[in-house]
Structure 1
Amino acid sequence: MAKTTSIQIGIPEKQRKHIADGLSQLLADTYTLYLTTHNFHWNVTGPQFNTLHTMFMGQYTELWNAVDPIAERIRSLGFFAPGSYAQFTKLTSLSDVPAKPPKAVTMIETLIKGHEKVAATARRIFAVASEANDQPTADLLTQRMDIHEKTAWMLRSLLES
């Protein structure tokens, strides 16, 4: 039987737990947005097909690459990362998309809202991480906020006439 050692990284367990809980929501939001974006990549139609198909691929690839660092930060703080659809459904702040794919404009609007919500989740956790002097989490969150805010801006730009 393996012996577990206590985690002594300069952040009390209660604060680590609070941060890990927030990161779990960020992980669920990120995974849900990944799934939505991949769904839209597969199912987009219309005059902007090629542009959106390619753009969505870049976005879902970035989201896929983001889930591992978030989960690993949760583990570094001493907690288990959620990893099931049931857990993600409970934790996410994003809504599921309808079974029938929406029109391209609605896809874009849905992704804008999703990226904005994920940025807001990261910003909320950032305050907790900053208070705990948790620079690795703060750095991760800063990167995530930047990416989601920039992606929302790029998607909004598609809707301007």
Structure 2
Amino acid sequence: MTTDIGISEENRKSVANILSKILADEFVLLAKTKQAHWNVEGNDFYDKHKLFDEQAGQIAETIDSVAERIRTLGHLVPGTLKAFLELSHLTENAPAENDSQSFISELLSAHEAIINHIRSNINLFANDYEDLGTSDFITGLMQEHEKTAWILRAHLK
């Protein structure tokens, strides 16, 4: 069955491909955040353990939303670790230390990379691909990452 939502198949495919990269970034970010949750050590362990767990839960919800947006456009969603690692702009780097400041710095860097990647696609989706829905969707996604980045940044002061 064809998907007739007012966006050409070519444009929907282009948008789905970019969204797949965003999905991969989110999945790698989830792994980084869970690593921080599981391995953080120090006198602030309990607070940061909880913080990272809450952030991981938010990222998991985001992953589902991005995947559902890809399906809404009529395309299949990548779902293997291999595919995510090939598509992601992020690396699996881990900090040298297991203290909260090292993990926060690593996660902040990842969130900022995602923010910049998303921001570069907002107008592309709206103007070039005529997909205002996805443009709006990723604008909201970017705002979520901006808020999380602000929270992480505040912990580094």
TM-score by length of 2: 0.92
1:40–1:101 CA contact under 8 A, matched in 2: no
Matched residue, 2:75 = 79
SS of the aligned residue for 1:93 comes to coil
1:46 aligns with 2:42: yes
1:129 aligns with 2:125: yes
**CA distance in 1: counterparts of 2:13 and 2:122, whole angstroms:** 14
Instruction: Pick from 55, 68, 76 the counterpart of residue 59 of structure 1.
Output: 55
Instruction: Pick from 6, 10, 16 the counterpart of residue 12 of structure 2.
Output: 16
1:110 aligns with 2:106: yes
The number of equivalent residue pairs is 156
**CA distance in 2: counterparts of 1:133 and 1:16, whole angstroms:** 9
Mark the runs of 5 or more structure 2 residues left unpaired by the alignment.
none
**CA distance in 2: counterparts of 1:143 and 1:59, whole angstroms:** 16
Percent identical pairs in the alignment equals 35
**Residue identity matched to 1:134:** D
Which 4+ residue blocks in structure 1 deviate beyond 4 angstroms? none
TM-score by length of 1: 0.90
User: How well do the aligned residues superpose, as a CA RMSD in angstroms?
Assistant: 1.6
2:95–2:103 CA contact under 8 A, matched in 1: no
1:110-131: CA deviation from partner (whole Å, max 9, x where unpaired): 0001111111222222222211
1:36-70: CA deviation from partner (whole Å, max 9, x where unpaired): 10111011001221221111111000000111111
SS of the aligned residue for 2:91 comes to coil
2:94–2:106 CA contact under 8 A, matched in 1: no
Mark the runs of 5 or more structure 1 residues left unpaired by the alignment.
none
